[in-house]
Amino acid sequence: MCMFQNIYGLDLGTYEIKVYDAKREFIWKEKNVVAKKNGRIYAAGDDAWVMYEKTPPGIAVEFPMQSGAIARFDDMQQLLVELLKKERPFSAGAEYLVAVPTDVTEVEKRAFYDLVSHSSARAKSVRIAERGIVEAIGLGMDIFHTEGAFVIDMGGGVTELSVLSYGGLVMNRLLKTGGIHLDLAIQNMVRHNLDFLIGKRTAEMLRMDFGVFGDETAMALDIPGRDLLTGLPRYRGIPTGMVRTTVKEVLGECMESIRSMYERTPPHVRKGIEKNGIYLTGGLAHLKELSTYMQEATGLKVKTTPRPEFCVVEGLQKIIEKKQDYRKLTYAMLDEDYRWLR
């Protein structure tokens, strides 16, 4: 690809940032987190993540994104610029394409645009695209000729439900259910039932090890934590069934929302979904047997990909590489035909 200016595709997730660098034809990712000391950013990205739950007094680890929206604009802006410059040939004056959730407020949508257009990156132009459509393109779907498709992106902070038909979004909803909510539920379950305190990273490890279904021969796993009765650190066995029951309780609400959206889908689109099934993407798609659980809960076949967490950024890559084919799916905030900002 030959070009005078670079083009970046940005997928700003709640817990991870993924970037497509068109000049290098390369995709990279880093944690969406900052470590702050005395009100200033001390470390960013993966460097800040290694400090999570390990920081000394005076250093706070914070996540600029919450529930799919930008919660700390200045931190997010500085983090993004730092990561673009970090050990990479950063191109000032580049063009940007940003994937944005549909089911957020006008102010939240505008924040994604302003994040880049008003930053020190000195962007030449900033265009945005609906995340659900971008994801479908990343899945390899011929979106302009697909009668009906149901894409479910389950990430670290939110789950986005998107029903698509012939190149447009029919329905879209953002659920505040993600990996962090499963981990918090596991933490609370262990605390209330076993009087044992564990960290978020330990809860995540339990979630990933046990999954939704699996080998029942492993009845428990010894993990480190703090005994709330004695106040002393020690190891304790956490029952497999207890963790899986907790995970299913949280996922149950999400499954109900999926069934509800499917039932409200227009008949001709539903026919396409019955044929194509559900496309499961996002980092949470790696959870053991989640696709099996979703298939049983919805009655629809569920498909995923080897790299479900990269579907959005790979969709951005395809849009950038085939700009003329997909240009009508991207918008600048100044466009008169910016039809979905309302």
Q: CA gyration radius for the chain?
A: 21
Q: What is the pLDDT of residues 95-117, one digit of tens each?
A: 999 999 888 888 888 888 888 88
Q: Indicate whether 112 and 188 sit together in one domain.
A: no
Total-model pTM: 0.90
The total number of structural domains in the chain stands at 3
Query: Which residues span the domain enclosing 291?
Result: 144-177+255-308
Backbone angles phi, psi at 284, to 5 degrees: -70, -15
Residue 1 lies inside a defined structural domain of this protein: no
pLDDT at 100 (0 to 100): 92
Residue 342 lies inside a defined structural domain of this protein: no
CATH of the domain at 204: 3.90.640.10
Q: What is the pLDDT of residues 85-96, one digit of tens each?
A: 775 666 677 899
Contact 62, 43 (CB under 8 A): no
Q: What is the pLDDT of residues 9-39, one digit of tens each?
A: 999 999 999 999 998 899 999 999 999 988 8
Q: Which residue, among 219, 207, 278, has the nearest Cα to 249 in the 3D structure?
A: 207
Tokens 């549909």 belong to: 102
Contact 152, 279 (CB under 8 A): yes
Q: Which residue, among 82, 151, 102, has the nearest Cα to 331 in the 3D structure?
A: 102
